[in-house]
Chains A and B, each alone.
Chain A
Amino acid sequence: MAMVIVGLAAPAHTASITNQDSDPRTLVVTENGVKSELVIGAGETVSFCASGCFITLPNGDRAALAGGESIELVGSDAIINP
């Protein structure tokens, strides 16, 4: 019973991204077919992409997220942990 409630209470599936660089980085996020830019300040962690999205990383690589991933930006590279 309690486990069910705790399970329900878990926050909605958002992906979170942490910029471990000393410079702000810009991502292009296409969520639900709407394209927007997301600027992440140095050392900042941002939750985004509640229902899955496509992103373009600073190094030009693309990725699709189902939500729930955590991404670390190191340099121009990104590590996506499912």
Chain B
Amino acid sequence: MLRALVFSLALAMLVIPARAQSVAGEAEASVLALTRDVERLLNDIGESAQDDGRLAEIVTELTALQDGLLAAGVALTPRLGAVRSRLEQLGPVPPESEPPEPEPRAQERGALAAERALINDLIGQLETQSIRARGGVDRIAELRRTLFTEALARRYDITTAFSPQLIADLAERAQALERRVTSWASFTWRTKQSTVLVSALMILALALAAVWASRRTIVIWIERAEGENPPTYFARMTNAFWYTLMPTLAFWLFLAISFLGLDQAGLMRPDILFILTRLLIGVAAVVLVWRLSEAVFAPSKPNWRLIGVTDGAARSLKAFFVAMAVVTVVDTVIEQVNTIVGASLPITVARSLIASLAVGALLVVIAFIRPFPPHVPEAADDVAIDVAIDAVARPWPGWVKWPLVASGLLLIGAALAGYIGFARFAAQQIVITGAILATVYLGHRAAQAIAQDHAFGQSRLGAALNRRLSLSETAIDQLGLVLGMALSIVVLLVGLPVLALQWGFRWPEIRAFGARFFTDIPVGSISISLTSIAAGIVLFFIGYLVTKRFQRWLDGNVLERSRVEPGVRNSIRTAIGYAGIALAALIGVSAAGLDMSQLALVAGALSLGIGFGLQNIVSNFVSGLILLAERPFKSGDIIEAGGYTGTVTNISVRATEIQLFDRKTLILPNSELINSAVSNWMHRNTFGRVTVSVGVSYGSDPQQVHDLLLEIAADHPRVLGNPEPFVSFDDFGASSLDFTLYAFLSDIGYGLTVRTELRMAIFERFKTVGIEIPFPQRDVNLRMMQPDAEVPVALPQEPFGEIEAGDARRPDDS
């Protein structure tokens, strides 16, 4: 048994190093291969030092290789950890003084140490190669910069470019191209006649089908009806979008299918394929620009114009953009074709010269048109104006016009002075940057259009949403606003990197910048992460929604069925709401990356100031919590506080809402309710007493009045029998015997009603039994003073001698 164990242990120890050796062997081979790759690319740099395109490729390959080197290292690293921990288990080599360890153990230690050294060496090699690759990338950047500067600064003699040599070269290249095309055509015709015929027929059929389909669907979809009133801006915008996109896409699809079909049928030869591809891409680009400028400027349909320019300017601008596209595309296609039929310096110079001059001239011309309709007060900004007033149309603003003129003149000047490389580079940059900026501007206008009042609701999508989700108009409008803002952000997020790429930034730099921008904006010693903040906000809202859901569930499903009284339910719901929001805020703040300890520091520093400044609010807040916990009153109670009486409708954290009986809502700060006396009609129970006072004339029988009052009280359905109603004989009043009826109610909420009904009943009953409720009475004696003393006594019999005055007053109400 023991022997078997020792044997298997020894076997295992032998096996581990063996497998490890093979792992390390594989790794060694891959490291070697990677090293060779780096070596090869570095050599390549020296060889293609003049070839900018190849250098750019090498950079891409080296960058990819960097990742490969790192990946190889990452694959090796865990093995190193395993070896190290095993070595630690084995412990150090025992000193001389101690007995030597068993042989297998010493062997394993040796093998592991060797493997550790090997892996360290391999990772070290990878690191070295990574550094070399980086060196190569840096060198290429330097080389390309030099190449670029040289190309820009190089001056050509343009007179020699237009020498007879140019004609000869052109003729020769044209012949070469013709030879290639004819040889390909005749060869394909001879060998694959049937395929060619079938392909031609199929392309024709495809074209017909495309035309038919577009007549049936696309044309209707994007129709621009000529009406009296211009359509809304949003309608024009969406129409322009489809107007551009659908025919362009259809045309592109047609080109792509025909092209792929020809290629698949084996009718293509690499050089013809190359030329045809460039040509088709060029045509596709021109078609796109043409459709887009037609959609935006709509020279013949002013109602559909997206930008408020005059008819003439719309025509010029459309022509300008199409001409720009054509010049750029022709220039590029000739350049590409030249690489096939052989480059020639005169042709290159002449081509670049013509292209730069054309772009420059177009820029200058377009700078001098007068695009905007004159100021007419009643004309809205977007409404196109008739051509009749074109004569006084306004020119471009200065900040558009003069840069255009300057760049046009710069191009022309540079080209004529012989700086062809610079002129062509600048022309391309201007054209492509202009195209990107124009696209971004259109995107921005689209975003504005969506965000406009009610624009989204009138769109098809908005209407569909309205139907499906039955959202309110306001909600749809707000959705439009959000969509508009989102579109603006997307436009910026796409447009800016593309612009940066065009201006020579490299993609990894842009990506790194973007990543830094969104995750790590340093402000002093702290850094702000936009994504974390967004995540914090999202988490907060999720927490808030969850709290609301939980509140509703608890209130509706648990508390209501447990017959908890409404006031308590309200308290619990409010408390849970505050706790949930506080929790969501805490989660949100920590997800946003705000350090709580730093926050605590700030809070500590500010707490004194806050203590003074927010004293009242804090006091109200704490009072609110006490009200919720102690519940001296709850929602639905009738209370008297601060000189007001009313029903409590809502106890919130700062103030309590009390609805007065005249339907006014009183908002009473909670601290008032805690610090001063509050009388609650419904504390613990709603039991209460009402009193009604009444006076009867001196001619009435007090006992009868007493009994009648008790009877009336007993007859009232809301008056309790126990404690029984009670009548007090209060006073011998000035003109009446005063009684008061005391009655108890189970719900004092009906106090006013019961008092009113009791008074009604008293009045009725007293009237029927003949008990009089007297007015206050007063006897006034007037003595008439006579100047003659013979008749000193006033005669009471005389009608005017005594006036009986009746002072009608309503009996006291309470």
By a beta-carbon cutoff of 8 Å, the part of chain A in contact with chain B is: 2, 5-6, 8-9, 11-12, 30, 32-35, 50-54, 60-66, 77, 79-80, 82
Contact = CB atoms under 8 A, between A and B. Distances in A.
Interface of B: 66-67, 70-74, 76-78, 80-81, 84, 88, 116, 119-120, 123-124, 126-127, 130-135, 137, 512, 515, 519-520, 529, 531-532, 534-535, 538-539, 542, 591
Contact of B130 (A5, A9, A30, A77): A30
Contacts of A5: 534-535, 538
Nearest to A30: B127
20 contacts: A5-B534, A5-B538, A6-B539, A9-B534, A9-B591, A12-B520, A32-B66, A33-B134, A52-B70, A54-B123, A54-B126, A60-B120, A61-B80, A61-B84, A62-B124, A62-B127, A64-B74, A66-B71, A80-B77, A80-B78
Given A2-B538, A5-B535, A33-B66, A63 B130 contact: no
A64 B73 contact: yes
A24 to B, nearest CB: 20
Chain B CB count within 10 A is highest, among A8, A9, A53, A60, for A9
Contacts of A79: 81
Contacts of B538: 2, 5-6, 9
Which of B66, B72, B88 gathers the greatest number of chain A CB atoms within 10 Å? B66
A70 to B, nearest CB: 13
A51 B511 CA distance: 12
B116 A61 contact: yes
Given A62-B120, A65-B77, A80-B81, A12 B515 contact: yes
Given A64-B73, A64-B76, A80-B77, A9 B134 contact: no
Contacts of B133: 33
Given A52-B70, A80-B81, A64 B535 contact: no
A32 B88 CA distance: 32
B539 to A, nearest CB: 7
Nearest to B119: A62
Contacts of A61: 80, 84, 116, 120
Contact of A8 (B67, B74, B135, B531): B531
A54 B70 contact: yes
Given A9-B531, A33-B134, A61-B84, A66 B70 contact: yes
B702 to A, nearest CB: 80
User: Secondary structure at chain A's binding surface: helix, strand, loop or mixed?
Assistant: mixed
A76 to B, nearest CB: 11
A64 B126 contact: yes
A63 B123 contact: yes
Contacts of A30: 127, 130-131
B792 to A, nearest CB: 107
Contacts of B130: 30, 32-33, 54
Nearest to A60: B120
Nearest to A65: B74
A33 B131 contact: yes
Given A9-B532, A11-B529, A12-B519, A66 B134 contact: no
A75 to B, nearest CB: 11
B596 to A, nearest CB: 17
A61 B124 CA distance: 9
Nearest to A5: B538
Contacts of A9: 531-532, 534-535, 538, 591
A21 B497 CA distance: 44
Contacts of A65: 74, 77
A63 B539 contact: no
Instruction: Tell which of B126, B127, B132 has the most Cβ of chain A within 10 Å.
Output: B127
Given A8-B531, A9-B531, A11-B531, 7 more contacts: A32-B66, A33-B130, A33-B134, A54-B70, A64-B74, A66-B74, A77-B84
A41 B428 CA distance: 53
B401 to A, nearest CB: 44
A35 B133 CA distance: 13
A77 B70 CA distance: 22
A77 B81 CA distance: 10
Nearest to B124: A62
B487 to A, nearest CB: 18
A30 B134 CA distance: 11
Given A54-B126, A65-B74, A33 B137 contact: yes
B441 to A, nearest CB: 28
Contacts of A80: 77-78, 81
A63 B530 CA distance: 32
A54 B31 CA distance: 14
Q: Which of A5, A32, A33, A65 has the most CB of B within 10 A?
A: A33
A50 B119 CA distance: 24
A16 B572 CA distance: 45
Nearest to A47: B520
A53 to B, nearest CB: 8
A33 B120 contact: no
Contacts of B67: 52
Contact of B131 (A12, A35, A63, A66): A35
Contacts of B542: 2
Query: 9 closest pairs, A vs B, by CB?
Result: A33-B134, A64-B73, A9-B535, A62-B123, A54-B127, A9-B531, A52-B70, A63-B77, A66-B74
B753 to A, nearest CB: 53
Contacts of A32: 66, 130, 134
B134 A34 contact: yes
Contacts of B591: 9
Nearest to A64: B73
Contacts of B84: 61, 77
B126 A33 contact: no
Contact of B70 (A8, A11, A64): A64
A33 B74 contact: no
A79 B76 CA distance: 15
A11 B532 contact: yes
A6 B534 CA distance: 9
